[in-house]
Every structure is written in C-alpha cells, then in structure tokens.
C-alpha cells in the first residue's frame, strides 16, 4: 500500500462545542466503539478518559484539549477533545489550527449556545470543514430538526439533515439514514456496539422522502453531472450522492447534520462513519504555506513524506512521568525518534529523544511520525505553542498561532516563604503549556502577578499550583487589565542634557503621536531625513518609547493603539549616546501623551444569560446596574436568553449574585469582546484613587 493511499485513510478531527453539550461524553463513546477503552467513562461519575485532570473530573468540564488516536473500519483517526469554556478559548483556537475537520456538538434542547457560536466562528476562520452532531435527543424538549434550523439561522450555515430521529425525549428509539432509507436501532446490552439495520416503518416514509429529496438536491449543488442526471429524472446512486456531499463538506459549502444521544449510546457509531465518509484526509486540504526564514518568500509544503519536514507545535503538556510533551502536527516530511530537528522560530537545533502516540494521558511509543499525522515529542526543551519544527537544510516558518491578551490579573504569594522558587518554576511550566496565561513580577509592589482570560482561568491555575505542584498560595483581589490610549495627534519634544564633569549626555528628539484604531497596538516610524539624528541612535529612541508604553499617565496602565513618528531632533558629536536618546524618546512620549487627551480603556465582555421568565426583570435590572448594554432577547423553551455587553470590572463575582437572584436556576457565559473607553466619571474616580 502506498503512502498516499495510507494518507487517504487518515482523519485529524476535533470535537468542539459549548460547555455541557456533551462533547466529552461523545469522545468517550468514540474511544469505546473504536476499542481504545473497554469501559464507558461518564462525566457525571468523574471517570472519563479524556478529562483526566482532577479539576476536569471534579467540575465535569474539559480544560486541556487531549489528543488521542483510534481506528475505525480501517481508518486512523486522531481526535482532539477541545474545551467548551470560554476562558480556555486558546485551547480551541490552537487545536482548530492543526485539524483537518471538526464535529460540532450541539445540545438537542438548547441548540446554538454562545460558545458554540465562538467555536463555529473560529472554525470558519481557519477554514475547517465541519459536520454536526445534535446530542441529548433523549431529553425532554429536544428536537433535531428545530436545532438544525437554529444552526442555519444563527450561524448562517448551510446545514442539512442526513438523518431523522424516531421518537421524542424518552421515546427516542432509532435513527433513520436518509440516503439508504434504512433505520438503525442500537443494542443496549453491549452499550450500542451492535447496530441493527431494518426497514423504515410506513408512518415515517412521507417525512423521510421529503428530507431525502432535500439532501439529494443539496448534493446536486456540488456536482453538475449529478444535477443533470437528477433533473432528467434518472436514478442517482448512493455513491454518486455521497461523493457530491463529500465535495460540499470539504469545500465548506455544506455541513451535514447527524442526531443521537451519546449518553444513551445511540448515534455516535454513525457519526464515526460520517467522519470517514465526509471529513477530509490530509490530502484533501490545501498544502500548508509558510515563509523561508530571513526572507519574505512564500513556500508551500504538500502532505507527502518525501517532502522536507514541516511541523507545527500546537500544545505543550508536562507529564509527571516523561517530562515535557510537545504535541506536533506534521504537515510534510517525516520525523524519526533519535533524530535532530531544527526550530526555525528560535533558530536552534534540538534532539528528538522519543516519539509517542497519545491515548488521552496514556502513551504508546513509535519510531516515526509522517506527514498528515499528529504525535507528541519527548526531549524538546525550548519549543512553545506556535513554533515550527523543520529540516535544517530546507527551513520554513509556518504561521504562528494567535494568542489573545489576558484581561484579568491577580497577585499571588506562597503561604510558605520557602516555596517561592517552587511556585515560580510551576508558573513557568504552566505558562509554557498555556500561552494565554502570563505571570510577571511587579518591582514596585514586590508582588507576583498572574494574568489570564477570566476568573475561572485563574481559579484553575491556583488550584493546579496546590494539587499538582504542592504549593499553597494566597491569592490577592482580582484586578481588571485596564489600558490607556490617546485621542488626538500631537507633536512633542524630548530633550535630555546632563553635564556633571567628564563626558556629558545629550539627546534631543521631536516625535508625532497619533491615535490608531482599537487593536492595532503600537507602531514606530522613523521619518528622519538629512541626518538630524544619526542612524545608530534611532533604535534607542524606539526602545525609550516602548519602555514608556508600559506605564501610562492616567493610572500607570499599559498604553496601546498609537503611532509614534520620529521626525526631527539634534545630537552632540561627543556627548550623544544611545542611552541619552532612549531617555529623550521616553520624555518626549510622556510629554506628548499628557497633551494628547489620554483616556482609559476597559475590557468589555459579551454576556449571555439564560434565565426562567419569572426572573427576567431582576436579571435585566441587575445587568443595567452593572453598566451593561442589553443587545437583545430570545425565548428558548420556556426560558429567556438575554444578550448584553458588560464591562468586565462589573462582572467580577457575578456567578454568586446571579445564583442568589434566581435561586440557582439561571446560567450565564461570557467572552471577551473588545477594549472600550471608560466613562469619564468612572475614569476620574479611578485616576484620583491612583494618585
């Protein structure tokens, strides 16, 4: 069998969904049906394979995306189980970046939930083909076709049912496959391992034919020959329709929808068939593009073992037994254990001591990993998420993974002073594993500050310090990560002259500060003409401004979204130095910022609250009191969903007050939306406090 044929039988997929849609249960069933496990793990019993961290089992949520491999009907499937909680967005993003296909899991009752929207948007951004699994159809109020409509309306997807459910809520008993016109029932004695196919009862024929026609017509959109045959009234065969649907899924023109209940062992087996039938192999996705280091020249790498090696590090995990595991997706070439590999992101060479295939947190050693496959490398020290590993003779730099900036901080200190070193080592490990988590040491206050994507994110970090690293810490008050920016353009002068016997210091600059749109960061432009400042001093000016950006003039917060253009200045033949110009640059920036109408920015969160109607008035009143802006409401099966934008500063501790306000019956989720200006009265109160 040729390597190309081998690759046709590979699937790299992710399972992604909103928190509590049953995603981990779906993955547990996949592992059971593919023979990786011989016992079914349940989230509510806390014995799942994929959620193996103590915190995951306790909370019943997925925190780290676990990579696992299994086989189904001759196909090799690499599955990455991604978290559904918004605080772990980076885990979803970086997993999607290395996947070829995705199964989006939706709850049969709740339908489209906020995090499912985020995941869907990310998958669209990375152009990942998707199929849909509507889960929990054994629940009261669950309806497969209603959820498919909901997906089409809210996510603007071309979702089309490939199946039909038989029976509702606890009477949900079977699934009809529309293409074959057969009905599947699942043997509960062997937890659904045996699937029995039979003829469809007459009462379901009419609806089945209606849905089947819709499916075949959708397939015709992707194959002209099939469309012609169908329009001429000729019989179209199942393989022809399947081939057209596969083309539609791979080009992201369509998303096929499947139904079932993972918990009751119905439907997951058929989703596995759909993964092999419709989701792309590494050969079906476009070759990966990268640039040749040191140049801007683009180069592509095909999914072929004979090409030069190109692999992307998408996750780092610390394993108590083998040390650091570096998860890679190999796009081209092959990597052997014991060989050397070049990290083009750092320009260093590293030795691959071992290669392992992961089954959640269990390991199987392998000798080689080839194009299109996913594995973990043992022995690499300096790689972090987003780094490229490649051949030294033909280096390439793949596009790095986008890491969001943290929005919340908190100070921590070890309860036992002797544990400080231990705590710093543990935090370093966690920062290497999770790029959206940062920690720093504040010189002024002497505190260690941890920063993350939300309250839960930091809570888990502190919990892991205690459990995994045996460091008890005291956590300070949560602090929102404010930023500062300017509103108008100004010209500003910075002059640093120091004479104190011996050689003096002289630096003199003129800069123009201009505001940029939100999210643009900082841009430095060198507009010096005629040599008024020698070239060798210009990097000093840039450094001086960059250092001054770390502490603004209003509250000492980092300054963002502005452009500084250096356009004039003067120098002294003897007394000028890079240090003098660095100080002059910093002075010019501080002077200019004071005149440029500085403002405070705060993180605004997109909040979605689902509440019984009885409490709707209270919840909305409370959101308004928190400076929230209500964007809209949506009725969903007896409860109301309120969409709002609320400043993060007002959302700290919201879980507790929502629980007491609604007697524990409401739930909410939130994700970072954007940085916006703080209202003037709040800004002046804050700046007074900081003075």
DSSP string of 108-143? TTTBS-HHHHHHHHHHHHTT--EEEEEE-TTSTT--
The CATH code of the domain at 288-398 is 2.40.30.10
Alpha-carbon distances of 106 from 81, 133, 146, 170, 258, rounded to whole Å:
15, 6, 12, 18, 10
How distant is the alpha carbon of residue 223 from its chain centre? 34
> Which residue's entry shows tokens 């929230």?
628
- Fold adopted by 603-690: Alpha-Beta Plaits (3.30.70)
Measured between alpha carbons, how far is residue 310 from residues 287, 305, 333, 366, 389 in Å?
A: 11, 10, 7, 19, 6
End-to-end CA distance of the chain: 73
pLDDT value for 362: 64
What's residue 563's pLDDT? Answer: 95
For residue 458, the model assigns a pLDDT of: 87
CATH number at 485-597:
3.30.230.10
| CA separation for the pair 79, 99 (Å, rounded) | 9
pLDDT at residue 477, as a whole number: 86
List the structure tokens of 677.
Answer: 């200006």
Superfamily of domain 408-479 in CATH is Elongation Factor G (Translational Gtpase), domain 3 (3.30.70.870)
379 dihedral zone (left: phi>0; alpha: psi -120 to 50; beta): left
Do 408-479 and 603-690 show the same overall fold?
yes
Q: What is the DSSP letter of 234?
A: P
**Cα 450 off chain centre by:** 20
- 386: closest CA among 79, 122, 93, 15? 93
How many C-beta neighbours within 10 Å does residue 444 have? 7
Question: What CATH architecture is 3-202+252-278?
Answer: 3-Layer(aba) Sandwich (3.40)
Beta bridge partners of 289: 300
Q: What is the Cα–Cα distance from 355 to 375, expressed in whole angstroms?
A: 7
Contacts of 396 (CB under 8 A, 6+ apart): 290, 291, 292, 293, 299, 301, 308, 310, 344, 388, 390
Give Cα separations from 617 to 84, 636, 642 (angstroms): 29, 16, 11
What is the C-alpha to C-alpha distance for residues 40 and 48, in angstroms, rounded to an integer?
Answer: 8
Which residue in 573, 571, 489 sits closest to 530, CA to CA? Answer: 571
Q: What is the mean pLDDT of each run of 10 residues along the chain (691 residues)?
A: 66 79 76 70 41 36 53 87 48 70 90 75 83 92 93 90 92 93 89 88 94 95 93 92 95 94 90 95 90 86 91 80 82 92 91 81 81 89 86 88 77 90 90 82 81 82 86 89 93 89 85 91 90 92 94 90 94 90 95 94 89 90 95 79 92 86 81 87 77 56
* Tokens 């320009």 sit on residue: 347
Instruction: Write down the domain spans for the chain.
Output: 3-202+252-278, 288-398, 408-479, 485-597, 603-690
């Amino acid at each position: 069998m040729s390597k190309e044929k081998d690759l046709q039988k590979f699937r790299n997929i992710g399972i992604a969904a909103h928190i509590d849609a049953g995603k981990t249960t779906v993955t547990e069933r996949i592992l059971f049906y593919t023979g990786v496990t011989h016992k079914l793990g349940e989230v509510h019993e806390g014995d799942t394979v994929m959620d193996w961290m103590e915190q995951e089992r306790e909370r019943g949520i997925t925190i780290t995306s676990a990579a696992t491999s299994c086989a189904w009907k001759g196909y090799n499937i690499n599955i990455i189980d991604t978290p559904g909680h918004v605080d772990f967005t980076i885990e979803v993003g970086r997993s999607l970046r290395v996947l070829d296909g995705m199964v989006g899991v939706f709850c049969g009752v709740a339908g489209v939930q906020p995090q499912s929207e985020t995941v869907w948007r990310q998958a669209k951004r990375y152009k990942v083909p998707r199929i849909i699994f509507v889960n929990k159809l054994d629940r009261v109020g669950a309806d497969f076709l209603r959820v498919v409509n909901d997906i089409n309306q809210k996510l603007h997807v071309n979702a089309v049912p490939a199946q039909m459910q038989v029976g509702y809520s606890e009477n949900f008993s079977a699934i009809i496959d529309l293409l074959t016109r057969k009905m599947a029932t699942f043997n509960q004695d062997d937890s659904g391992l045996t699937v029995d196919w039979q003829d469809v009862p007459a009462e379901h024929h009419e609806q089945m034919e209606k849905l089947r026609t819709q499916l075949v017509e959708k397939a015709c959109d992707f194959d002209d020959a099939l469309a012609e045959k169908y329009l001429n009234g000729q019989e179209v065969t199942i393989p022809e329709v399947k081939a057209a649907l596969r083309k539609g899924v791979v080009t992201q023109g369509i998303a096929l929808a499947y139904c079932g209940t993972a918990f009751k062992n119905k439907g997951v087996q058929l989703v596995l068939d759909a993964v092999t039938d419709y989701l792309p192999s590494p050969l079906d996705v476009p070759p990966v593009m990268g640039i040749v280091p040191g140049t801007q020249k683009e180069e592509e790498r095909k999914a072929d073992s004979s090409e030069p090696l190109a692999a992307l590090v998408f996750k780092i995990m610390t394993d108590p037994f083998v040390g650091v595991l570096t998860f890679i997706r190999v796009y081209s070439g092959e990597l052997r254990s014991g060989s050397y590999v070049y990290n083009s992101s750092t320009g260093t060479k590293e030795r691959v001591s071992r290669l392992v295939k992961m089954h959640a947190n269990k390991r199987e050693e392998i000798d080689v990993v080839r194009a299109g496959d996913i594995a973990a490398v043992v022995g690499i020290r300096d790689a972090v998420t987003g780094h490229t590993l490649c051949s030294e003779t033909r280096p390439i730099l793949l596009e790095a993974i986008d890491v969001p900036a943290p929005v919340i901080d908190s100070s921590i200190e070890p309860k036992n002073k002797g544990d400080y070193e231990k705590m710093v080592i543990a935090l370093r490990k966690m920062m290497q594993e999770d790029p959206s988590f940062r920690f720093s040491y504040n010189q002024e206050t002497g505190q260690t500050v941890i920063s993350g994507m939300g309250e839960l994110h930091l809570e888990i970090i502190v919990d892991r310090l205690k459990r995994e690293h045996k460091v008890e810490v005291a956590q300070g008050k949560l602090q929102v990560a404010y930023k500062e920016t300017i509103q108008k353009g100004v010209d500003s002068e910075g002059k640093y002259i120091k004479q104190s016997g011996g050689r003096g210091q002289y630096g003199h600059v003129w800069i123009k500060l201009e505001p940029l749109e939100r999210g643009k960061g900082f841009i430095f432009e060198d507009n010096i003409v005629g040599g008024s400042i020698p070239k060798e001093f210009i990097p000093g000016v840039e450094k001086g401004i960059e250092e001054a950006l770390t502490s603004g003039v209003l509250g000492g917060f980092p300054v963002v979204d502005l452009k500084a253009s250096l356009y004039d200045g003067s120098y002294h033949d003897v007394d000028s130095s890079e240090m003098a110009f660095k100080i002059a640059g910093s002075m010019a920036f501080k002077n200019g910022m004071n005149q440029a109408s500085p403002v405070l920015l705060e993180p605004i969160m997109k909040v979605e609250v689902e509440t019984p109607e009885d409490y709707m008035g209270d919840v909305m009143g409370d959101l308004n009191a928190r400076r929230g802006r209500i964007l809209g409401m949506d009725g969903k099966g007896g409860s109301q969903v309120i969409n709002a934008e609320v400043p993060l500063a007002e959302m700290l501790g919201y879980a507790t007050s929502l629980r007491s306000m609604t007697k524990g019956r409401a739930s909410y989720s939130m994700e970072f939306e954007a940085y916006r200006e703080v209202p003037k009265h709040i800004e002046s109160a804050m700046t007074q406090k900081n003075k």
